[in-house]
Amino acid sequence: MNTWVRRGAIGVLSLLALATLVVGIALQRGERKLARRIDVPAQPVAFYDDRAALERGAYLFRSRGCADCHGSDGAGRVVVQDANGLFVRAPNITRGARTVAGYGAADWDRAIRHGVKPDGRPLLIMPSEDYNRLTDADLGALVAHVRHLPSAPGAAAELRLPLPVKALYGFGVVRDAAEKIDHTLAPAQPVAEGVTVAHGRYVANSCVGCHGPELLGGKIPGAPPDWPAAARLAPGEGSVMPRYPTADAFAAMLKTGKRPDGSAVSPVMPFASLREMNDVDVRALHLYLSSGAGTQASSRAPGKSGGTLPALTGAAEHGAAAPPPRPEAKPSADALPAAAATAFVLASGKS
Ligand code: HEC
Ligand code: HEC
């Protein structure tokens, strides 16, 4: 064999060996990560069975995605079955089903708000980051509904990930919910239900799993390659919100899955749930998502063009920890208004 060819072949082979080694390490790290035990401050959930709680719980189950994945009867279903090898079956969570039969009062909080199974291992697919900010009352209502679902036949969870996704999970590019959640935050304080920015901010927590913690949009890590990037909901360049100047236009899109120009939004958006949202939630959501444009916080937020929303996660619940805006102070890092500062901390992954 010609020496050049031979050398080339050796080069390719060692590259291949290196790649195999790197992927091998990533896969091993992924296995270890999935087997890790996470200690979270889970609280016992109050078990309600009054009518108001059951109605609220049924509403949340329909409109916040649970029914979409677990089925409206809670018996579980195949959520994703992708040609590239991603397969996800959400488990049966009705009464007596294997997954939840042994659940104690704190296990509901651990799974739903923290993304952690009773044995301390992480959930992988379920977007608990969307639910971490649920108030105690809403979590209680949701659990009341689930616990009252009639027993139905259905399978346990089944997850199969394509190799590249497993490797990305090992490297931390794909993160599970428990990694994304700040488990030290106290449960969200209730805000009055109404068409207000505060209530809209509360509802918008159920969008972060796909649209990101600051609703900046972008590729959803680990998603099948044919899924479009999630849209930017936060104000600024590329935001889709200018397309929805009125709450009516926004509500129509959530109900029909169509943009104002008649084109279809990708069905990756969970319209089966979003269409169930009541008018107050939808209008509050629209108000919140339209609220950040041109705020002072925005012009100072590093690396952003044109705006941030009032911060979704944490700051308000921490109360005194977040300094009030000091507009006349010198533009140093600690003079950033609370919202921008929180956004910055989140963006630099130190939350
Ligand atoms: C995107 C799909 C999806 C959504 C939305 C979703 N789940 Fe899940 N859920 C899953 C999958 C998949 C599992 C299996 C565990 C995993 O993710 O690794 C699961 C697991 C669970 C478990 C059992 C955890 C365990 O002990 O193994 C409970 C309880 C649960 N979900 C309740 C809910 C509730 C309540 C909601 C709504 C607030 C919800 N889920 C929303 C997909 C989903
Ligand atoms: C399962 C992932 C997922 C969840 C959860 C989700 N979205 Fe989306 N959303 C997407 C994707 C992906 C797109 C991009 C669709 C496209 O380009 O066709 C999108 C697009 C949008 C758009 C742009 C529509 C347009 O005009 O093109 C809006 C507005 C939006 N989402 C709002 C929300 C809100 C509000 C929530 C929470 C209540 C939410 N989404 C929850 C995945 C999601």
Cβ of 251 below 6 Å from ligand 2: no
Residue 102: predicted pLDDT: 95
Quick one: tokens of 96?
Answer: 């007596």
Q: Ligand 1 pocket: which of 63, 68, 70, 135 to mutate (most atoms <8 Å of CB)?
A: 70
Question: Taking CB atoms and a 6 Å cutoff, what residues make up the pocket around ligand 1?
Answer: 64-66, 68-70, 79, 88, 90-91, 93, 99-100, 111-112, 117-118, 123-127, 131, 142, 146, 157, 159
Determine whether domain 51-178 maps to CATH 1.10.760.
Answer: yes
Cβ of 266 below 6 Å from ligand 2: yes
Q: Ligand 2 pocket: which of 211, 220, 290 to mutate (most atoms <8 Å of CB)?
A: 211
Average pLDDT over residues 216-231: 93
Residue 52: predicted pLDDT: 97
Average pLDDT, the chain: 86
Q: For ligand 2, atom 34, name the residue with the nearest CA.
A: 207
Are 194 and 323 contacting, i.e. CB atoms less than 8 angstroms apart? no
Distance 304 CA to ligand 1 centre (A): 33
What are 68-88's pLDDT values in tens digits? Answer: 999 999 999 999 998 889 999
Average pLDDT over residues 295-312: 52
Cβ of 335 below 6 Å from ligand 2: no
Q: What is the DSSP string of 110-141?
A: HHHHH-B-TTSPBPSSS-GGGTTT--HHHHHH
Angle at which helix 163-171 crosses helix 3-34, to 10 degrees, equals 70
The pLDDT confidence band at residue 334, using thresholds 50, 70 and 90, is: very low
Ligand number nearest CA of 138 is 1
d(CA 228, CA 246): 25
Return the ∠ at Cα 185 (arms to 168 and 202), rounded to 5°.
90
Residue 15: predicted pLDDT: 86
Distance 246 CA to ligand 2 centre (A): 17
SS3 143: helix
Domain with CATH 1.10.760 in the chain: 51-178
Q: For ligand 1, atom 5, name the residue with the nearest CA.
A: 65
Residue 58: predicted pLDDT: 98
> Is residue 202 over pLDDT 80?
yes
Q: Give the list of residues 6+ apart from residue 258 with CB closer than 8 angstroms, or none.
A: 252, 264, 265
> Is residue 298 over pLDDT 60?
no
Q: What are the backbone angles phi and psi of residue 218, rounded to the nearest 5°? A: 115, 175
pTM, two decimals, is: 0.86
SS3 79: strand
Distance 126 CA to ligand 1 centre (A): 5
Distance 63 CA to ligand 1 centre (A): 15
Which of 149, 171, 19, 168 lies closest to 97 in space, CA to CA?
149
> Is residue 38 over pLDDT 50?
yes
Are 98 and 78 contacting, i.e. CB atoms less than 8 angstroms apart? no
Q: Ligand 2 pocket: which of 265, 276, 281, 286 to mutate (most atoms <8 Å of CB)?
A: 265
Residue 135: predicted pLDDT: 97
**In terms of C-beta density within 10 A (0-12 exposed, 13-18 middle, 19 or more buried), how is residue 320 classed?**
exposed
Q: Give the list of residues 6+ apart from residue 260 with CB closer than 8 angstroms, or none.
A: 243, 244, 249, 252, 253
Average pLDDT over residues 16-30: 90
